[in-house]
Structure 1
Amino acid sequence: MAVITQFVVVREGVEKMTFTSKKEADAYDKMLDIIDNLVPFLMDSDVELDESTSEKLAFYLASKKDELTNLLKGGTTVKAPADPKPKKKATKQD
């Protein structure tokens, strides 16, 4: 018989997700905390969003928080394409 350790994220008495590592469970729990804070923030905006759409948007933003943080700091998520052709050296013509 095998012994399996599981970490279960429970919110308001509802099992949300089960993980095999505490680190993953903690990360998911933190993401749910972010979502809980984002939903009211989105609902208070001038954009007309229903609760379901706000929750989906909050989940998306929370799951992409590192990229979003980078964007809010003025960064970009799109990497510049590599130049496939090397540039020719300028030659001096007489």
Structure 2
Amino acid sequence: MPRYFFDFHDGQALRRDTEGSECGDDEAVRQEARHSLPEVAKGEIPKDGDKQAFTVLVRDESNATVYTATLTYAGLWLGDVPIPEHEPELDD
């Protein structure tokens, strides 16, 4: 089974995967990237303010990048705007 390496970039540093994971096909690679991004990001958000992007770069055994995915966090302070308790009714 082919081995793929999932490197993570947090906007500041690249963490290279030295062990890799065996994946049977392209869909398995995509699923591994999709599941690993939130796991890596959850302890890091927000690292530096209210904007952060996490990218996974997937390499195959020949060291070619074959897939990439990005998870973005964006926070925004709204100030003193109250959140409505219910939606206003529309006039006919």
Question: Which interval holds the TM-score relative to the shorter structure?
Answer: 0.3 to 0.5
Q: Which TM-score applies when normalising by structure 1?
A: 0.32
The answer to which structure has the higher helix fraction is: 1
Q: Which TM-score applies when normalising by structure 2?
A: 0.32
The answer to which structure has the higher strand fraction is: 2
Bigger relative contact order, structure 1 or 2, given CA contacts below 8 A and separation 6+? 2
